[in-house]
Amino acid sequence: GENVEQHPSTLSVQEGDSAVIKCTYSDSASNYFPWYKQELGKGPQLIIDIRSNVGEKKDQRIAVTLNKTAKHFSLHITETQPEDSAVYFCAASNRAAGNKLTFGGGTRVLVKP
Amino acid sequence: KAGVTQTPRYLIKTRGQQVTLSCSPISGHRSVSWYQQTPGQGLQFLFEYFSETQRNKGNFPGRFSGRQFSNSRSEMNVSTLELGDSALYLCASSLTGGNTGELFFGEGSRLTVL
């Protein structure tokens, strides 16, 4: 089955700096790669996603890149703000698996003011 | 528009008991998925239901079961509870059954097994 690895497990950045989280996946059939943000006491919330027919996607301060050949994808957050502090999860799925997501282990991001 | 609602939010059980968790999806959503979140294993897929049919199942023992009703509400049941079942159980709903739409997560039901 699919295996998703995520690095780093913790990330501390100064407010205004950029943060980068990287994930690798194992199943070449995976075609959907969402990123979720989970704040304390809440469920994960989708912040951006990318499909395998696209190499990069941006939404304001957040961007995701996908390298299908190398089977890795990354989340980039620019101009970080204290409210970006949370746990971020990458995930992967393929069409045959329906809404089954395989998640990475998570990255705890701390943005220091 | 109301989000995904999970009840109860917190519960404490003892080993050997059983528990039933409930999930009300976003109105109009027909897919409901369940995930277990623990510090050690992270987020793991339990099962997905679409139009009252189980479409997919994760690698969990048969003690974990679920069902979906005609109004798309879903329940999951864990029988013969073990200490390792202590976790946050998350429900997610989606408009479609394929991986073409966003999953919306509820805030979870935190189960503690003593």
Q: Tens of pLDDT along B53-72? A: 999 999 999 999 999 999 99
Backbone torsions φ then ψ of A97, nearest 5 degrees = -90, 0
pLDDT digits (tens, 9 = 90+) for B33-50: 999 999 989 999 999 999
Distance CA A65, CA A56 (A): 4
| Closest-CA distance of chain B to residue A109, Å | 16
pLDDT digits (tens, 9 = 90+) for A64-74: 999 999 999 99
Q: What single letter denotes the amino acid at residue A104?
A: G
Closest B-chain CA to A106 = B42
| Closest-CA distance of chain B to residue A14, Å | 26
What is the percent of chain A where pLDDT is above 70? 100
Q: Which of B2, B39, B7, B46 is nearest to B23 (CA)?
A: B7
β-pair partners for A54: none
The answer for residues whose C-beta is within 8 angstroms of residue A86's C-beta and 6 or more apart is A37, A38, A39, A40, A108, A109
Burial pattern B14-48, b for ≥16 Cβ within 10 A else e, equals eeeeebebebbbbeebbbbbbbbbeeeebbbbbbb
Distance CA A14, CA A110 (A): 8
Note whether A99 contacts B99, CB cutoff 8 Å.
yes
| Closest-CA distance of chain A to residue B106, Å | 5
Residues of B in contact with A100 (CB under 8 A): 33, 45, 48, 56, 58, 99
- Give yes or no for residue A99 having a pLDDT over 90: no
